[in-house]
Amino acid sequence: MKIETLASGYGLIEGPRVDGAGNLYFSDVTNGGVYRRRPTGEIDTVVPKRRGVGGIALHAEGGIVISGKNICHVKDGETRILFAREDVPGWNDLFTDAEGRVYTGSMLSSPFAPAEGERKLGDCYRIDGEGRATVLYGGVSLTNGIGFSPDGRRIYHSDTARGLVLVHALDDSGRARPLTPIRVEGGPDGLAVDAEGGVWVALYEAGVVARFKPDGSPDRRIALPARAVTSLCFGGADLRDLYAVSADNSDDPARGGTIFRTRSEVPGLPAPFARI
């Protein structure tokens, strides 16, 4: 399987998201900044310096929604805060549903703290509008990737510190009922769901992206030339381009955080626009 290297030289890359023109948005959590890689390879700075951006969504009115110390919409250099809490120091990965609402997890302990240490448990929030949010469930030790099943009836949510992808069923009112989680070795980080309901998970400690069937059983693995694989997304005209990002590069450590691209036999699901 061919694996391309599209860019390197970053710290901990996160939040990959591809728009309809083939531009890839991504963040550098440790060094700061949100960037856009054009299909021709040029890279632009979209949001300078901002650290801790673990998730990115495209907004229906242009610009992007990003996480960090708050959840905000950045468009043409202007920032509109969508949601923040004084008792939440940071927010990590995020995703959108078909209605354009934003789902994200609160981080109450440092993501770089030892996994075996005691962590303050965070929650999953659904941001319904500017300044308005609903807590769907709690008990998330280290929040990471979020995604939905093709019918929107299940939400998947990586809890890296516990080695689980949490699974909840959503009813018509949006209430969440816990289902059996997917147990994942190697530190589940970012995730994406494909058109057949397969759940693709970046394994931070294993150097792979792994696909799990809707019933949670392992299906396939793609090894990458990096150990700390942090996130992934689908893109391309047929949604079969699979982008994966990392915090390192095992072929050449001097490259640091790297963006890879390969191909998937199964197309991914399109990521809905944020509309709040």
Q: Are strands 24-28 and 34-37 parallel, antiparallel or unpaired?
A: antiparallel
Is residue 227 packed enough to be buried (19+ CB in 10 Å), middle (13-18) or exposed (0-12)?
middle
Q: Residue 117, Cβ neighbours under 10 Å: how many?
A: 9
CA distance 164 to 89: 23
Rg of the Cα atoms in the chain: 17
Q: Which residues are part of the catalytic machinery?
A: 189
Q: What is the C-alpha separation between 194 and 232, in angstroms, rounded?
A: 12
